A and B are shown apart, each in its own frame.
Chain A
Amino acid sequence: MSRTPLDTVEHAAGTPDVELPWAELGLKKDEYERVVEILGRRPTGAELAMYSVMWSEHCSYKSSKVHLRQFGEKAPQSDALLVGIGENAGVVDVGQGYAVTFKVESHNHPSYVEPYQGAATGVGGIVRDIIAMGARPVAVVDPLRFGAADHPDTKRVLPGVVAGIGGYGNCLGLPNIGGEVVFDACYQGNPLVNAGAIGVMRHEDIHLAKASGPGNKVILYGARTGGDGIGGASILASETFDDAKPSKRPAVQVGDPFQEKLLIECTLEAFAEKLVVGIQDLGAAGLSCATSELASNGSGGMRVTLDDVPLRDSTLSPEEILMSESQERMCAVVEPSKVDRFLEICDKWDVIATVIGEVTDGDRLEIFWHGGKIVDVDPRTVAHDGPVYERPYARPHWQDALQADDANKLPRPTTPEELKSQVLRLVSSPNQASKSWITSQYDHFVQGNTVLAQPEDSGMIRIDEESGLGVAIATDGNGRYTKLDPYHGAQLALAEAYRNVATTGAKPLAVSDCLNFGSPEDPAVMWQFAEAIRGLADGCLQLGTPVTGGNVSLYNQTGEAAIHPTPVVAVLGVIDDVARRTPVAYREEGQLLYLLGDTREEFGGSAWSQVVHDHLGGLPPQVDLERERLLGEILISASRDGMIDSAHDLSDGGLIQAVVESALLGDKGARLVVPDELDAFTFLFSESAGRAVVAIPRSEELRFNDMCGARGLPATRIGVVDGSASDAVVEVQGEFTLTLSELRTAHEDTIPALLA
């Protein structure tokens, strides 16, 4: 078997005419030419492998960068922000010396191909981002979107995704404290599997992805490297460098949560002993990304011997090793005197760890294979100087017609019976129904610090046992609203997540997002994307909550049909004492129900318009972020001062949905009176933003009213908590009465019936 000579830097310089398969690797002609220009010669195969993955849309954000800049440019002044956009995840100061890091990412496409493993490795990836910041992961969340609930493929995708998220997260010992499940035909073929994680550390433990200090060692640890996720590199290996047939490469990655659990524990132990100078997880683009980012963020260069990488598959070529996306690996930079101790800790946890290189005092990233130098690049050109596109965008021609198709003009229920039956249809519709069939497959008790989990408005974790300091997180996104108006739709997602956090009594501090859109090459999609980012950045500025990081997922489309633009927004909040948290469930009979905020006739994009009329048109609810902030302040004060016993924000499904949920959770009934200025239909189904329903002990009514009055927040008494257990009802006076058990059946049987 004759083998062509190793494509070293020297070889490349001497063979300028060799054709490389840059197009197969996804590079455009001008991108390839830039690589040649940067290097002053043709790249080696290994260099081409690195540039091509690092300059991909996924790693370089080439289509989105110009828009994402707004998150930095418009960032509000915030004392809380310790680490902003650009690192593995942002870090926020939550007081008492604690810092919290959190981030949301997508694993959409892999989860469609292989739901279980795709979702599982999605959780694995986001958790490694959190560890890489120096934090102990303390919780995960999973915003999910699927095709129509009754579509046969949903029965394949959803149970697999849920089992995968549970299988991985449960095995890692991370409580799952929130998320979303949305069904819409637009996600058929493009389900959205987003996963978020939160980690906690002391301020002094923050770690960054940078390699500094010449002589420091680069240690790769965790799983062995296999041929995962390297379709492109295999082309390179077979066509140019080897006469043998390419060996088979996995089409799908299998996650190993046990390995990741060991990785968490041994990394945290190394942090605790202050052994780590810089650290990076291996995710997309594997070693290409880890080495070039570590090197370019640090002060020096880096030299790596690829032969030292422990392999699962001995047939891998160097290009493949560089591109491999095998899961459960990390890369640490460690001072020489601490290497032995680092390796000892890895050994204690049965984690394979290998020194693969060192930091140099030059400014080049050099990689060797079988004694030859196969990479010699300025790492910044790989990691940071990727192409940037100003993709054309244009408001789609159909946008006006869509907005003109006013949902407020749809036929409304005319009799109490009709109203009642539409309430039942709403609370039993897949999007509004209880998700407990799903969430009961997630551990929410593990780690012993879960204060609130599903189905509360936000998840809440205690982070200090003594003081009761805690953090809360909620994720929201409404593709229907965003389709109607991307700018305001994104703001509504932000507003809802913000409101959900405040409703539980926590003060919103910071934002992470996962922007799920169609193809950036479609100007209409690009317009949605640009508008959504503009809306989100403006909104964050106004609410004082900086975006600390996030993720962009493009090309979520089948043929011409893109998904609804779906920015998912996660808001992180802090609460001084978790004993003050406000839950959703009604707790005591006799407590008064108050509706906070203004209710308008707003049905565009509403759950009612979807469930009853299968309609999407008009304008989404009005956005008033000042009102959101005021509402948030009132909810937080009320919780701190013990004025409210239950609170639930109003969002899709409107007031009746919220009341039914609070009633079912507390096993208590509610009697409602329609306020004079509203008709019953609008009162029950409108989705006006900036609202919540609270339950107030009678003794607090005066004080609470005074507070709202003084600060100018409309507060309307709408009823009372009444009736317990089996004989309880939800009654809308003069309209209808539904028993809790009727409502429970409607609300809780839908999802099991579709999926079990």
Chain B
Amino acid sequence: MTARIGVVTFPGSLDDRDSRRAIRLAGAEPVALWHKDKDLKQVDAVVLPGGFSYGDYLRAGAISRFSPVMGTVIEQAKSGMPVLGICNGFQILTEAHLLPGGMLGNDHLHFICRDQKLKVENAETAWTADYESGQEIHIPLKNMDGRYVADERTLDMLEAEGRVVFRYVVGGDTSHGHGHVNPDGYGNPNGSLRDIAGITNEAGNVVGLMPHPEHAVEPLVGSGRTDGLPFFTSILKKLVNA
């Protein structure tokens, strides 16, 4: 038996096919979900993929959050179904208030695409169990609105409850600014508060992050590393063992 993991396609989703590929490569069964359908086709978990849903014209994720499928996702997430939001998916999760805080434009005002160094802060969530806490990994990052913001109280709460799942690794040689081909991918790429790259909800079933693990699952393409695969093996194990 394997797990069925749904990937929602919104108008303007871009990495839906890539997320399905990553799920398949991890050994689970990818299931395509459509934004206009309330029905989740009995999947065991859902990935909200990256992209520019509705062009991100109002705010990233703001329009998709009101789609029929999100009604069901919100409901199911609250009763414990694992949900992963990648990039635009993360933005949708904050707009839907499944995760606290909000996403704003990168502080340097440019789109940024690079292989980013991250630190795994929480290896207990449904999506990160195959990592080790403190592990440093490289995951491609590509976005325009990647700056995570929340008020101080929320940030303190996230820290206190261990809900910061990933942080950008700051340090190393970042003197060349964001456009520098930094072979190590150091630095906060967008001005996110407290270098936050990804967070989880209280229950640990909903995770959102800006970088794209689905682009780091094969040695030949994308970043050429496979540091993103554990996302998909983590959830598979959890679901199969459940």
Contact = CB atoms under 8 A, between A and B. Distances in A.
A756 interface: yes
Contact of B11 (A167, A262, A450, A455): A262
Nearest to A451: B221
Contacts of A389: none
A749 interface: yes
Interface string B15-38: 101100110000000000000100
B11 A350 contact: yes
Interface in B91-147: 110-114, 140, 142, 144
A442 B221 CA distance: 16
A752 B110 contact: no
Interface in A421-454: 434, 436-451
A434 B177 CA distance: 13
B144 to A, nearest CB: 7
Given A349-B11, A445-B212, A434 B55 contact: no
Nearest to B183: A667
A664 B110 CA distance: 24
What is the interface residue range for chain A against chain B? 35 or more
B111 A748 contact: no
Interface string B164-191: 0000000000001111110100000000
Given A445-B222, A446-B142, A448-B222, A171 B55 contact: yes
A375 B223 CA distance: 55
Contact of B177 (A172, A445, A450, A752): A752
Nearest to B52: A171
Interface in A163-182: 163, 166-167, 170-173
B1 interface: no
Contacts of B57: 258
A316 B222 CA distance: 47
- Indicate the member of A438, A446, A752 with the most B CB atoms within 10 Å: A446
Interface residues of B, number: 39
A650 B17 CA distance: 38
A665 interface: yes
B12 A462 contact: no
Contact of B112 (A441, A446, A447, A749): A441
Interface string B208-228: 000010110010111100000
Nearest to B180: A748
Contacts of B181: 434, 436, 440, 455, 664-665, 748
Nearest to A439: B113
A448 B215 contact: yes
- Indicate the member of B36, B55, B114, B140 with the most A CB atoms within 10 Å: B55
A589 interface: no
Contact of A445 (B17, B176, B179, B223): B223
B221 A440 contact: no
Contact of B142 (A170, A348, A451): A170
A173 B12 CA distance: 8
B51 interface: yes
A222 to B, nearest CB: 14
Contacts of A348: 36
A257 B55 contact: yes
A745 B21 CA distance: 39
A450 B12 contact: no
A446 B214 CA distance: 10
Contacts of A438: 179
A462 B220 contact: yes
Nearest to A744: B176
Contacts of B110: 163, 440-441
A579 interface: yes
Contacts of B21: 448, 465
Nearest to B115: A445
Contact of A441 (B14, B111, B180): B111
Contacts of A579: 220
Interface of B: 11-12, 14-15, 17-18, 21-22, 36, 50-52, 54-57, 110-114, 140, 142, 144, 176-181, 183, 212, 214-215, 218, 220-223
* Across the A-B interface, the 5 shortest Cβ-Cβ residue pairs: A258-B55, A437-B179, A173-B14, A448-B18, A445-B215
28 contacts: A163-B110, A170-B142, A170-B144, A171-B12, A258-B54, A436-B179, A440-B110, A440-B113, A440-B181, A441-B112, A441-B113, A442-B111, A443-B111, A445-B140, A446-B14, A446-B142, A448-B18, A448-B22, A448-B214, A448-B215, A578-B220, A578-B221, A579-B220, A664-B181, A748-B176, A751-B179, A752-B177, A752-B179
